[in-house]
Structure formats: C-alpha cells, structure tokens
Structure 1
Amino acid sequence: MKPIKSALFGVAATVLALSACTSSKQAEETVSGLNPARFDSIVNNKKTALYTLKNNNGMEVCITNFGGRVVSVVVPDANGKPTDVVLGYDNLKQYTDSVNSPSDYGSSVGRYANRIGGGKLTVAGKTYQLPQNNFGHCLHGGNSGWMYQVYDAEQPNDTTLVLTIVSPDGDNNFPGTVTAHTTYKVLSNNTLDITFDATTDKETVVNMTNHSYFNLNGDPSKEGTNMWLYINADNFTPADSTYMTTGEIRKVEGTPMDFRKAHALEETINDTTYDQIRNATGYDHNWCLNTYKNGKGDDSKTCAVLWSPVTKIGLSMYTNEPGVQVYTGNFQGTGISCKHGIKYPKHVSVCLESQKYPDTPNKKNWPSANLKPGEKYFSHVAYRFWTGDFATDK
C-alpha cells in the first residue's frame, strides 16, 4: 500500500541521541546485522529502542517501538542459511525522517489501516472530517497515525513483546480515547504471531494491521515478481484510480486477481489490459477471504501463501479478519538507500495486510469496524515460515 506522502507529515519532535553508555550486549549486532544502539533515541519525549525476539529454530525478529515496526525477520532458507525476509531501514533516523525517507515499513498501523473515503467518518450520528493525506482520502489513520508514534514497550521474555499506545480523543480527529496493544510473539514453529486489541471510551472505529514488506528471495536489490502467491479468496473489492474501493465485490474468476491457483506474480502483475492492474501499476487491492464466514474468521485455515523459488522459503498467513490487502511495492524504486545501503526496486516485495475492507465505515453492508465503550477490539494475524517446495498446506 502506498506510503503516506512525505510532505504531509513531519515528526513533531527532533530525534535526540541518547547517552552513548550502552552495554556491550546492546551494542552487539543482531543476526540480521542491525546495531541496536542506532535505534536508541528520544522521539516526542519518549524513548525508542530495538527489541529482539528469537526462538531455538533459527528465527529472529527485531522490532522498534517507534511505530511498532518490524525491522527484520530472519529465518533459515532451504539450506539453513539465515535470511532476512522483510524490508526496512537499519537506523531510527530514517524511520523518523518522513521527508527524505517516508515509509510504513513493518508498522503497527492505526487507528484505521487503509483508506477512508474523502476522510469522512460518521459515528453515532456525528460526522468527522479526518485528514485527507492520500488522494483526498484518509490513509493509515492520518498524517500522524500510530506508525509515527512511540509505543510503550514491555518484553517479558525472549519470545514476546507487548506494545501499548493511548490515542486521545480527537487524535487526527477520530473520536474517543483508545488504548491499544500490539503483541508480537515468535513461536517455536517459526511463526511471527501478532495480536491487536483495543478499547475506547467513546464510539469510534478501529482497524489495525501489520505492514511488513516481505521479500523471501534473500536479495531485495532485485524485483520480487518471481515469488509465487496464493490467496484463498473468490472475490475482491475493486478500487478506482485514487485507490478507493468502489463498493463493488467482484469475482476473481477470469481476471488477473485470481490467485486461488498459485502462480508467480510476474505472470499477471504487468497485465495493463486490466484496469485494476493498470490503475495501481501492480497489486494494491483487498481480497475477501474465504476463511471469513457468517461474521467470523477462521484463523486456523490458510488464507494466503507467499513462496520464493530461490530460497524455497514459504510464508503461510492466517487471520480472523475478513480481508487481506496485497500490495506489491508499486511505489518502491525511489532511489533511497535502505537497510544495509540497498536501494529497493519497484515490485521488490509483497505486503499481506490483514484488515477490515477499505472504507468499511462508509459501506454499511461490509464487516463493521465500529468499537463501542465496553467492547474489545481483537485482531489476529500469524505469518508462519517454512521451507520446501510450494504447498498451501505446509
């Protein structure tokens, strides 16, 4: 999904370096080659850091509490080689510099992931004008959404990180004070398990997601269109030229949107005879998951699979949400030096964002994102990594 325009957001406070007195353990590089000291800063009067989660099977996940962002995910390839499979930066300065290096890399997005049409939101009979930070729409909660805020962090053990954010009433003009948590866990079977929960003191909308950019090839300096994709969905929600859903739910059959039989992205991603591909210059669409029925999602069933024929690394996705936004890095190729100095090309990666459908608040027949006092928002997504030949049931 396209990042928020850099000109429309600036971090409110100057990022200040903390004291250089870090322990030798803090200064050690992670398996992914990150220096934790480069993430020790102060943003908006709150401390930031890099947190490392790991298991005993070769998986390491590094996360910063700035925006709740996954910075690296290392898993073994088919030959046992540790491979970083997500995009990002290797220092906090670039993450906070929304002018020179804007990104939503790896973020915990809120208050409302994806787009709200025209920035118009009506809740409990009252209409709110939200920021219009993307083609006239509100994207990812506005130009100072949660991906640019500092979460409070607690790491109870080597495999778990709990991030907390309190979003005040009127934050980007959304109603209600919302307390939200993102809990990251690394499981023994090489799964990155993520849960989101939230409560509010006034009726509002909440739709959180993780925005990691996956490249399973182990070389993000090259396009990733050789990766295979499977999506367990018979339908998707078409979008117009401003990336806004039209309200239609359309069958994938007979279109380049059909991934019920897995195939390499390169087979369909450049089919500009189809308006949806042409408008997005690739994929930036929501699929209506078959794993969601009668108002409930089955997160024990595979909803999507991404696979690399190079490393033989596969990613199986599970969620209780009704939709998944698939974004193929159509706005990459900016020439910005990213993690380890690599400049990412267009179509280098695939985002798999669990979510309510885009603009659900203005399309009342779609699964609701409304949250009332006394209720608890809960969302779950799991990314399980494995190796071997492609399969949908690994």
Structure 2
Amino acid sequence: MKKLFITALAACTLFACTQKKEEATLSGLLKSNFVSEVEGKPTALYVLKNKNGLEACITNYGGRMVSLMAPDKNGKMTDVVLGYDSISDYLKSDGNFGALIGRYGNRIAQGKFSLDSVEYQLPQNNNGHCLHGGPEGYHTRLWDAKQLNDQTLELTYLSKDGEAGFPGNLQIKVTYTLTDDNAIELAYEAETDKPTVVNLTNHSYFNLSGVPGSTILDHDIMINADTYTPVDSLLIPTGETPSVEGTPMDLRNPIAIGAQIDSTFEQLVKGRGYDHNWILNSKGDINVLAAKATSPTSGISLEVYTSEPGVQFYTGNFMTGEDKGKGGAVYPHRGAFCLETQHYPDSPNQPAFPSTVLRPGEKYTSKCIYKLVVNK
C-alpha cells in the first residue's frame, strides 16, 4: 500500500511539473483569455516584438490593437493604449478600443449616400447618422489572421455585398508591422467587384502617461494643419474648410490638450471637446509629420504619419468613466485621445471633399504610422 501511495505521489508530482504556468505578455495579457469563438471562427491574441524589446498585442476580433508597450524616459516599459484583458470583455463592450474601422470610418449623414444614381441606406447608429460602418462594422468582425514573422501580422476580411447596406464584395487586407524604429505601421489594401465607398482607419485610444486611470489633458498635441472641417450640432461637416488661425483649432504648435478644450468656441461646444477632422498639410506624403502627442509624465511622444488627407482628433469626450479596462483600471472621461487617419467625414455626400469611391479594377491603399519616441 505504501509503495502504491509513493508511486501515485510521484505521478502527480511529474504531472504538476509538466504543467507550465502560462507566461503573460509584457503588458500582462494572457493568450488563453483571448481563445474563444465568434461567428464560428476562433479568436486569438497575436504578439509582435521588435529588436528593441517593444511589444504589440493584437486580436483578430475587430483587428484590435490590445496593448502597445514602449519604454518611458526612465526605461520603464509602458502600455500606451487602452483595452481589455480578455475577449469576453471586448464582446460585452459596444466600444471600439483599438479596432479596425470600416467600411466607412467616421460619419455619413442620415446613413445615406448616392453612387451612380443609386441611393444606399446604411444603419443610423449615431443621432440618425451612420458612424464607423454601423453598430456591426468591422470592429465587431472576425478577421482571418496570419502571423508572417515576429514583427508582422496580416489580417484579411471579406465584407460581402450589402453588408451594413454598402454595395460590393470588398476584399480587405490590413498588415500590422512593428518596426525596428519603434513604430506600428498599418498598411491597408482593398478591392471591390462593384462601385462602393471605402474609408478605413484604426481607432486606438492612446494615453502615453503610463498612469492607469489618468486623463490626457496634460498631454501636448500638435497637428500639422492650416484648415479643418467644422461640424453642425450632430457632428456632420458643414462643407466649409476654414482656417484654424486665431481659434482653439489651431494646433500647429504644441499645446496642452486641456488648455482650451472647455472654451466657449462653438465647435468645441458642439463636440464636447475636440472631435473634428483636420485637413493635413502633409497632403498624403507619408514622410511628413502629420501629428504629434507627448506626455510630460512619461516623456513618450507619439508621432503620426499618413498617406491620408485628414486626421480625426478625438479626446475621449464621450468616455463615461464606467469602463474598467486592463488590470482593473477605470478609464475616466477624457482618459485617452485618438488620431484616426482618414478621408473626411461624410465625403460621399460632399462633392468638394476628396472622393472615397472605389471601383472594380482599382485598388484602395492607405498607410498609417504610429511612431513612439522617448524624450529623456
């Protein structure tokens, strides 16, 4: 009997030794918390690392960037994007933390547009307008994922003809690359079999401070733009493109986000803060700095480069302070900012704006670079 007990104990000990504790990512995420099934397809967490030790975690649910780790001015690794600890948390949320957005990022008035004399009706999920492709836009879809190497993830998705009211089967590929110069590059491609409109972007919420639960009002912001597209009371562009000169919309020189955000300037009142599209001076030149944000706390700067003509700067004005994110952090009102590279809102209904029409035989391409820089 004693011999049998010892044998059983040895077997149990051996079993325990072979069960390795799951290793967390640099940001503290567990891959097992992202293993599930949505739309009959498996979800997962993919980890990218570069030679400098930076790490980006991405899930194929919504193509979302879940975490982005970079060193602060003291060398401490810092997570600079908001998100959740598990796929179940993302499924319970109606937000779009870190997500790929489409078929049309931003707003389309009344959820309607006409193309080649045909009118299309889209979901009206935001004050009677269509926002970010509707409530079941690409941020809620399962993307097919292929990790090409330690630094590159390829995501593909077929958006079928009539999905959310948009015409054409749209075949999309988005490639995330964590480069050795400490940037996350997003390269978008799409092709259609019917004339359609396309405006893809990423909706990462950034807080560069490294302080969970803090606001971004002390961050400095610079946007390289002389003009912007003002909006009406429901945040639809009026069609005008006035100068930023002499207004709180002039962000050409770095200024604290909180410095004028609560001013009585009509556009800031309408947006409850910054929630507008700036017309970039870079004019689609990926080598020209489009925008830059900096946290004085961490010394981390985010530089944005894009092939797009505009960028939506959003300051978390509709964050309620009820979201509990990674590590149990409560995300407060204005707890993050977004810099969404894009064509302008409501372009399908604004003939003077750059076109977002894509036709068969053409290829949609767009590129965005989020580069992290440390100021010591």
Alignment match, 1:6: none
Give runs of aligned pairs for residues 77-96 of structure 1, distance below 5 A. Answer: 77-96=72-91
1:58 deviates by: 2.2
**Match among 118, 121, 136 for residue 129 of structure 1:** 121
Q: TM-score, normalised by structure 2?
A: 0.94
**1:268 to 2:260 alignment:** yes
Alpha-carbon distance in structure 1 between the residues aligned to 2:355 and 2:47: 35
- Give the SS at the match of 2:258: helix
- Give the SS at the match of 1:302: coil
Alpha-carbon distance in structure 1 between the residues aligned to 2:128 and 2:241: 22
1:26 deviates by: 9.8
- Give the SS at the match of 1:180: strand
Alpha-carbon distance in structure 2 between the residues aligned to 1:41 and 1:283: 36
Alignment match, 1:305: 292
**1:341 to 2:328 alignment:** yes
Alignment match, 2:109: 117
Give runs of aligned pairs for residues 304-323 of structure 1, distance below 5 A. Answer: 304-323=291-310
Alignment match, 1:232: 224
Alignment match, 1:19: none
- Give the SS at the match of 1:361: helix
Cα 1:169–1:25 change in 2 (3 A) is farther
**1:178 to 2:170 alignment:** yes
Alpha-carbon distance in structure 1 between the residues aligned to 2:233 and 2:54: 40
Alpha-carbon distance in structure 1 between the residues aligned to 2:154 and 2:20: 21
**1:188 to 2:180 alignment:** yes
List runs of 5+ in structure 1 lacking aligned partners: 1-22, 390-394
1:142 deviates by: 1.1
Instruction: Please tell me whether the aligned partners of residues 236 and 286 of structure 1 are also in contact (alpha carbons under 8 angstroms).
Output: yes
Code of the residue aligned with 1:351 in structure 2: it is C
**Match among 334, 337, 352 for residue 339 of structure 2:** 352
Alignment match, 2:240: 248
Alpha-carbon distance in structure 2 between the residues aligned to 1:131 and 1:38: 32
Cα 1:366–1:25 change in 2 (3 A) is farther
**Match among 67, 70, 75 for residue 70 of structure 2:** 75
Cα 1:57–1:372 change in 2 (3 A) is same
* Of 24-33 and 380-389, the range deviating more from structure 2: 24-33
- Give the SS at the match of 2:190: strand
Alignment match, 1:18: none
List runs of 5+ in structure 2 lacking aligned partners: 1-17
Structure 1's consecutive aligned runs of 4 or more residues displaced over 2 angstroms after TM superposition are 23-27
Instruction: Please tell me whether the aligned partners of residues 58 and 82 of structure 1 are also in contact (alpha carbons under 8 angstroms).
Output: no
**Match among 54, 61, 75 for residue 56 of structure 2:** 61
Superposed CA offset, 1:271-328 (max 9, x none): 1x11111111111000000001xxxx10001000000101100111000100000000
Superposed CA offset, 1:142-181 (max 9, x none): 1111100000000010000000000110000100000001
- Give the SS at the match of 2:191: strand
Superposed CA offset, 1:248-268 (max 9, x none): 111111111111011111111
**1:258 to 2:250 alignment:** yes
1:334 deviates by: 3.5
Alignment match, 2:143: 151
1:68 deviates by: 0.3
Alpha-carbon distance in structure 1 between the residues aligned to 2:371 and 2:139: 24
Code of the residue aligned with 1:46 in structure 2: it is K
Cα 1:345–1:373 change in 2 (3 A) is same
Code of the residue aligned with 1:212 in structure 2: it is S
Alpha-carbon distance in structure 2 between the residues aligned to 1:28 and 1:245: 48
Cα 1:26–1:64 change in 2 (3 A) is farther
**1:50 to 2:45 alignment:** yes
Cα 1:228–1:43 change in 2 (3 A) is same
RMSD between superposed Cα atoms in Å: 1.3
Instruction: Please tell me whether the aligned partners of residues 305 and 316 of structure 1 are also in contact (alpha carbons under 8 angstroms).
Output: yes
Alignment match, 1:332: 319
Report sequence identity in percent.
49
**Match among 350, 360, 377 for residue 364 of structure 2:** 377
Alpha-carbon distance in structure 1 between the residues aligned to 2:20 and 2:300: 30
Alignment match, 1:102: 94
Alpha-carbon distance in structure 2 between the residues aligned to 1:24 and 1:169: 47
Alpha-carbon distance in structure 2 between the residues aligned to 1:276 and 1:327: 13
- Give the SS at the match of 1:213: coil
- Give the SS at the match of 2:323: coil
Q: TM-score, normalised by structure 1?
A: 0.89
Code of the residue aligned with 1:385 in structure 2: it is L
- Give the SS at the match of 2:146: strand
Code of the residue aligned with 1:326 in structure 2: it is F
- Give the SS at the match of 1:266: coil
**1:142 to 2:129 alignment:** no
- The size of the alignment, in residue pairs, is 359
